[in-house]
């Protein structure tokens, strides 16, 4: 090599290496430069909230309010395709240059309506998506028991307890977090319903075959649904006209002589209009007295109930639903020889009779902006006329003797509710909000007469005591903000302000937080307030089946309470199959409660505001395990602890008839193609306090240890179903061990005496019940 090349070679190599490095650096800079662009709809309007990602990568970007996005490239030359997804639009994939910093414009086409997809499998009953602690009872779950009405729809569920209010009328109530059903908001398709004077018998006003699903929400729900929820919400989803089976016929009969008939008919009227007719009738005309106490185990009853839903769905974002319903029911119970239509029938034998007429209607209209599926405007309207009359035999104590007479409780409630709701986003769909105005009008007309006369009572005072009329006008407004980071955090904060014409301004704040610290772990926190105006007689209607005299304090105030709690949900697998473990705790603290005191006197029911300095609270803890160890085999077990206490006459005592401890177990098995299905449910109840018995004239002492307690007991229910191509036959047994409460009616032999009480019911009254039924359906 010549000296020239020796001198020039290092320089040339250096220049080559430098240029190569510079070229490499420039190429890397080009590859890693972010791709920017805009996503629009077919009309060139920006689409905010669209998700943009590279094919084969998990890195994403979300378009802003102008539809703009910036997405860094991964350091891979093959990253050349973008995938764009937006709610309401068809997903799209576009090619992007592998170098430089290109600007991409993507125009999305409107989404198309998907046909019905039948999914084989079971979703977890505890939702992992909702910010609230929500348990879902599906239509399949409802077939695990007779489910003739809403009261029987909770038999295979541990969250809600159903109790009988007395041993004569047959009325049933739910308990959520240890509190009576009046403290939980019952909604139909997310509209408040079956409230006020309809509360005592409302669980019998909805047929199980009408129900598509039930959502049980513990703790504070949304402010959109109103202010009356103190312990939670039970939302019943009725059959959808678009998705319901064309025909469903159900027939049921049991060995007490009760039968139910149900018929659902659904049909599309046109391409945009569909309707469903829901018909129900039940009848019990047989007089049964299995425990030989001289009283009917269940009242004679007949109900005719129908509901009709219409749905209009345009292709331009407009959806309208209209529903109309009517119900007529009669009940008659009491002693075997009681006849309500006989002359002096209520004085000759002890009895009760009631008649209810109910008419309901609703209209829901929503409009969704074209190209903006996140933005909508809705108008919700509902109206109810509820009217009932009831008469009870009554032993009035006069001058040391007993006079046989009657007392009557009649009521009419007319309710109208209107809500205007707007929903949209702030920038992207990670920030959504709802604003609304509401107006509620409740017109109550109650008559309660027992012929009792009080010394020094004026005519005006007597008129006010017997005629309890109340008109509520409540305009209000609300706002709710939701933050979702699309990964592991959801926050929902709501505030509503209502102006009650009788009780002034009412502020209702609520907060729900959901956080997923790991892929299969969900933590939730809920806090907020609620208030309701009590109906002291309707809320304690079961006590009318006793000799107790109602003494209602004047100037009752609204009930208010704080509810704070949370839950942890863990999803995992056992032998490769899904399982769920959940634990929750909720504390409800009343600022004021309308207290029905059954402790202080065995002959009087005192109803008054919570005493100054007194407390009323509920503490609820529940843990539940759900597993599917084998295909077709499901099992769930739960334990619940309740600590529910109220100050009565200066002493903090447990709530009567509430069991502190409850065990629950359910196992179900289905063969291939669901040809055979079998379910077994076991419920165990701990000891619970009883407010009164003939030998107990009141509570005295600082502790509750001397209160009478009902014994522990367990209930076993089972059902077997055989499915054929288009119909099913099912048979079941409730209370398999034939357990009965001894003497559910105190002093049944002397129903007009001061010791008579049919409201201290804590267990089954008529023993084992067997039933048989069939379902026929056309899809």
Report the percent of the chain where pLDDT is more than 90.
69
Across 39-48, 506-515, 644-653, least confident range: 39-48
**For residue 575, what pLDDT is reported?**
85
**For residue 179, what pLDDT is reported?**
95
Residue whose pair of structure tokens reads 């739910």 in the numeric block: 174
The answer to whether the CB of 551 falls within 8 A of the CB of 249 is no
**For residue 779, what pLDDT is reported?**
83
Residue whose pair of structure tokens reads 């205007």 in the numeric block: 420
pLDDT in tens, 567-578: 999 999 998 889
Question: How far is residue 141's CA from residue 162's CA, in Å, rounded to a whole number?
Answer: 17
Question: How far is residue 596's CA from residue 606's CA, in Å, rounded to a whole number?
Answer: 6
Torsion of CA 337, 341, 343, 349, to 10 degrees: 30
Angle at 641 between CA 639 and CA 642, to 5 degrees: 145
Mind giving me the DSSP string for 270-330? SSSEEEEEEEEEEEE-----TT-SSB-SS-EEEEEEEEEEEEEE-SSSEEEEEEEEEEEEE
Residue 3, pLDDT > 50, answer no
**For residue 96, what pLDDT is reported?**
79
Fold of 233-778: Maltoporin; Chain A (2.40.170)
The overall average pLDDT reported for the chain is 88
The better pLDDT of the pair 619, 6 is held by: 619
Across 89-93, 225-229, 692-696, least confident range: 692-696
Q: Quote the tokens at residue 371.
A: 């190209």
**For residue 92, what pLDDT is reported?**
84
**For residue 79, what pLDDT is reported?**
55
**For residue 31, what pLDDT is reported?**
38
pLDDT in tens, 368-397: 998 888 899 999 999 999 999 999 999 987
pLDDT in tens, 413-460: 999 999 999 999 998 888 999 999 999 999 999 999 976 667 777 888
Q: 35-107 is classed in which CATH architecture?
A: Sandwich (2.60)
Residue 237, pLDDT > 60, answer yes
Question: How far is residue 122's CA from residue 105's CA, in Å, rounded to a whole number?
Answer: 41
pLDDT in tens, 115-142: 444 444 455 688 888 899 999 998 888 8
Across 4-13, 174-183, 216-225, 678-687, least confident range: 4-13
CA 540, distance to chain mean position in Å, is 22
- The H or E element that residue 464 is part of is helix 459-466
Report the percent of the chain where pLDDT is more than 70.
90
Domain ranges of the chain: 35-107, 233-778
């Amino acid at each position: 090599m010549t000296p020239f090349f020796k001198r020039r070679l290092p320089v040339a190599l250096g220049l080559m290496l430098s240029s190569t490095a510079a070229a490499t650096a420039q190429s890397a800079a080009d590859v890693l430069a972010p791709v920017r662009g805009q996503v629009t709809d077919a009309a060139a309007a920006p689409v905010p909230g669209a998700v943009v990602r590279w094919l084969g990568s998990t890195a994403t970007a979300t378009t802003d309010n102008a539809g703009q996005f910036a997405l860094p490239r991964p350091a891979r030359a093959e990253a050349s395709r973008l995938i764009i997804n937006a709610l309401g639009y068809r997903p799209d994939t576009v090619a992007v240059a592998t170098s430089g910093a290109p600007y991409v414009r993507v125009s999305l086409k409107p989404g198309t309506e998907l046909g019905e997809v039948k999914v084989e499998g079971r979703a977890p009953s505890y939702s992992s998506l909702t910010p609230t602690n929500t348990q879902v009872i599906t239509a399949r779950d409802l077939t695990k028991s007779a489910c003739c009405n809403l009261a029987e729809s909770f038999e295979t569920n541990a969250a809600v307890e159903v109790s009988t209010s007395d041993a004569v009328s047959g009325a049933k109530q739910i308990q959520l977090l240890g509190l009576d059903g009046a403290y939980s908001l019952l909604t139909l398709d997310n509209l408040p319903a079956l409230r006020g004077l309809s509360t005592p018998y409302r669980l019998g006003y909805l047929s199980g075959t009408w129900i598509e699903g039930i959502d049980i929400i513990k703790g504070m729900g949304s402010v959109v649904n109103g202010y009356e929820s103190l312990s939670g919400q039970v939302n019943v989803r009725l059959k959808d006209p678009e998705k319901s089976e064309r025909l469903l016929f159900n027939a049921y009969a049991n060995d007490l002589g009760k039968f139910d008939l149900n018929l659902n008919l659904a049909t599309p009227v046109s391409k945009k209009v569909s309707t469903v007719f829901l018909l129900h009738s039940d009848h019990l005309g047989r007089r049964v007295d299995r425990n030989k106490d001289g009283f009917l185990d269940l009242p004679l009853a007949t109900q005719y109930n129908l509901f009709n839903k219409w749905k209009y769905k345009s292709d331009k974002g407009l959806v309208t639903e209209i529903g109309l319903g009517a119900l007529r029911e009669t009940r008659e119970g009491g002693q075997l020889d009681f006849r309500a239509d006989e002359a002096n029938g209520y004085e000759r034998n002890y009895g009760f009779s009631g008649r209810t007429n109910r008419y309901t209607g609703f209209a829901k209209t929503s409009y969704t902006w074209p190209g903006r599926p996140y933005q909508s405007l809705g108008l919700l309207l509902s109206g109810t006329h509820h009217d009932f009359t009831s008469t009870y035999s009554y032993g009035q104590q006069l001058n040391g003797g007993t006079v046989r007479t009657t007392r009557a409780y009649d009521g009419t409630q007319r309710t109208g509710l209107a809500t205007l709701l707007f929903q949209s986003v702030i920038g992207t769909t990670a920030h959504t909000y709802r604003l609304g105005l509401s107006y509620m009008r409740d017109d109550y007309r109650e008559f309660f007469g027992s012929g009792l006369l009080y010394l020094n009572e004026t005519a005006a005072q007597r008129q006010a005591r017997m005629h309890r009329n109340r008109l509520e006008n409540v305009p209000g407004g609300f706002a709710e903000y939701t933050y979702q980071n699309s990964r592991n955090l959801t926050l929902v904060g709501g505030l509503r302000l209502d102006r009650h014409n009788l009780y002034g301004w009412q502020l209702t704040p609520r907060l729900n937080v959901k956080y997923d610290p790991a892929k299969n772990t969900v933590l939730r926190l809920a806090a907020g307030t609620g208030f309701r105006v009590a109906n002291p007689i309707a809320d304690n209607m079961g006590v009318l089946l006793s000799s107790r005299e109602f003494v209602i304090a004047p100037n009752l105030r609204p009930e208010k309470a704080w509810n704070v709690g949370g839950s942890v949900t863990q999803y995992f697998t056992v032998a490769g199959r899904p399982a769920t473990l959940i634990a929750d705790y909720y504390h409800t603290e009343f600022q004021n409660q309308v207290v029905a005191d059954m402790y202080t006197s065995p002959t009087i029911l005192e109803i008054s505001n919570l005493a100054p300095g007194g407390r009323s609270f509920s503490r609820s803890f529940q843990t539940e395990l759900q597993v599917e160890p084998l295909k077709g085999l499901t099992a769930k077990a739960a334990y619940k602890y309740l600590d529910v206490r109220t100050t009565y006459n200066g002493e903090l005592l447990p709530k009567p008839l509430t069991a502190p401890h409850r065990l629950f177990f359910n196992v179900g098995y289905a063969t291939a193609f669901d040809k055979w299905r079998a379910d077994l449910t076991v419920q165990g109840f701990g000891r619970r306090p009883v407010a009164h018995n003939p030998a107990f004239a009141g509570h005295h002492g600082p502790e509750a240890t001397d209160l009478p307690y009902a014994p522990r007991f367990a209930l076993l229910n089972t059902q077997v179903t055989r499915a054929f191509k288009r119909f099913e036959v099912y048979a079941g047994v409730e209370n398999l061990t034939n357990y009965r409460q001894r003497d559910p009616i105190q002093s049944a032999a002397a129903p007009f005496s001061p010791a008579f009480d049919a409201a201290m019911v804590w267990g089954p009254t008529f023993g084992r019940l067997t039933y048989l039924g069939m379902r026929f359906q056309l899809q």
